[in-house]
Amino acid sequence: MSLTKYIIRTICHYLKLNFTIVLGIALSTAILTGAFIIGDSVKYSLQQIAVQRLGKTSQVIVAGERLFRQQLANDLAEASQIETAPLLRANGFGVINGGATRLNRLAVWGVDLRMGNFAAYPEAFDLNNNEVAINENLAALAGLKKGDEFLLRVDKLNTFPPNTPFVSEKETTVSFRVIVSHIITAEELGNFSLKNNQSSPRNVFINLGWLNRQMGLDNKANVILVTEGFSSSGLLRELQRCWKPEDINLTIRENPALNYTELISDRVFIEPAVEQFCLKSVPGAWPVFSYFINEFALNGHQTPYSFVSTDNGLSENQMAVSEWLANDLSARVGDRVSISYFEVGPLRRLVQKDTSLVIGSIFKMQGAKADPQLAPVIPGLSDAGNCRDWKTGVPVDLKKIRPQDETYWNQHKGTPKAFVSPAMARKLWSNRFGGATAIRVNGLKKNDTGQILLTQLSPSLVGFEVPDVKHDGMAAANGGTDFGGLFAGLSFFVLFASALLAFLLFKLSLNFRRTEIGTLTALGFSLKQLRKIYLAEACILIFAGIVLGLPFAVFYNHLILKAVNTIWVDIVRTSIVHIS
């Protein structure tokens, strides 16, 4: 009898005992293999989440809370030969069935057909008017289906930052009814998100132009999607080639009558970074700071609600007043006038403060001192037809407004009634939004000023960023925790117990076969030959255990992942964990 035949017959003779050994080895194999399968599956699923939530997006251009032109995306695409798509991102919540269901934390995306270039199925983003496409997660949570209507309330976006002084924010949200025209799967970019998060978002996609109109905006966006082709620094350079003053909420205008060019901001205040850049880079530039004060008071006389601006020729504790204000207060040079104003703190908390300054001169309302453009453009105030139509972010007591105040507004609008030194204006009214309301330069130099601003001002200085969301998403999926090692570690005691069981069964098998070992020794088998025989048997049993354990590992992992994707989905907050 050959050695091979003897080993096979021996295995068959001790079949029951060997079967228990094979089961022990299979259990160890299934546990160890299953741990690595689960680990790789989690890693693979995180990669799939990143791919599904981004589509063909490689990078995005954002500017914090700043809004810019939609056309910037087109200009960037033409200049760089890459695909882009402008988006308007806002938060919102939905009211369904007359308030029976309310869903918070909705991600509302204003999109157009260009969004389809980043998805596998672009038809879903062909939306008109109040049609919306929602993702499967939102549809399941809300019980919505195609053709259903619901009320969508969205946080209103503006060109000026929240809590900007003097800007009314009575309408912080806009509401409108929408119709579900598409329910988008994850593969169709339904789970689009710029955050590294495995939880499925609650996405609502709506026509970009229509959303702009509901918010009272003029073709604005706050996100640009970009395909591969440039590094982040390269995209910033391309952006600088394409942007315009409107993209940083600035307007450059000329005043031929007074022979100056000025830079003003939709954000009311010139941002500190822009102000510092202009004063350093634009020849002859100087800042203008105008502020809306509550009242001038002198010897029982009051003049309510006026603008005060800056004059470089004044000392810190002096002020110049117009003849109109001097007559209204019965003031003379040398009088000390009290000024009351609001300081806007965090969360729009208003603090009324007072100061007093000495009148150093009285000027006539003519020339540069009679310039209504000294007053900043404040929505709800600058465009008001009369004082009683003012809509400001600070309380206005209409009872204090007199006929002469209405007459002044009709004739001069917000033309300042007094001037203080720039140092005093900054000391009293500078805030986190800026310390100037305009930057001026002598002469009609709109083109020159714009050229300097757009070619030399770095986009990063005004908040533009280009996150590499694809790289970051894949790095988050691939880096960090070694899930295979983690699950193997979590299974360590079970794995150790099953390996110990297999070892003990082997040892038990040898104890059962002591008589056989003695007989073989008596027949002349050497110790080396006996080791060879039993090692061969062990290899066969181990191989059989591995073959049996591998499919079992795959099978029970399928069961676990099926549970994760169904009955446990509310716990793990995702349903796209798959075996890689």
Percent with pLDDT over 90 in the chain? 42
pLDDT band at 504 (very low <50, low <70, confident <90, very high): confident
pLDDT digits (tens, 9 = 90+) for 5-48: 777 777 777 777 778 778 778 877 777 777 666 666 666 666 67
Distance between CA 541 and CA 417 in Å, rounded? 99
Q: Tell me the two tokens of residue 545.
A: 């255990």
- Return phi, psi of residue 96, to 5°: -120, 145
Distance between CA 355 and CA 111 in Å, rounded? 50
Least confident of 68-72, 355-359, 535-539: 535-539
Q: What is the mean pLDDT of residues 355-365?
A: 93
pLDDT digits (tens, 9 = 90+) for 106-130: 999 999 988 988 887 778 888 898 9
Q: Would you give the DSSP letter of residue 114?
A: G
In sequence order, which residues have a C-beta less than 8 Å from that of residue 555 and are 6 or more positions away? none
pLDDT band at 563 (very low <50, low <70, confident <90, very high): low
C-beta of residue 94 within 8 angstroms of C-beta of residue 189: no
pLDDT in the model for residue 511 = 75
Does residue 222 surpass a pLDDT of 80? yes
pLDDT band at 170 (very low <50, low <70, confident <90, very high): low
What average pLDDT does the chain have? 84
Q: Tell me the two tokens of residue 48.
A: 């799939």
pLDDT digits (tens, 9 = 90+) for 390-445: 877 778 888 899 999 999 999 999 999 999 999 999 999 998 889 999 999 999 99
Does residue 572 surpass a pLDDT of 50? no
Does residue 513 surpass a pLDDT of 50? yes
Least confident of 211-215, 288-292, 401-405, 535-539: 535-539
Q: DSSP characters for 273-323?
A: HHHHHHHHHSTT-EEE--EEEEEEEETTEEEEEEEEEE-TTS-TTEEEEEH
pLDDT in the model for residue 568 = 52
pLDDT band at 477 (very low <50, low <70, confident <90, very high): low
Does residue 571 surpass a pLDDT of 70? no
pLDDT band at 264 (very low <50, low <70, confident <90, very high): very high
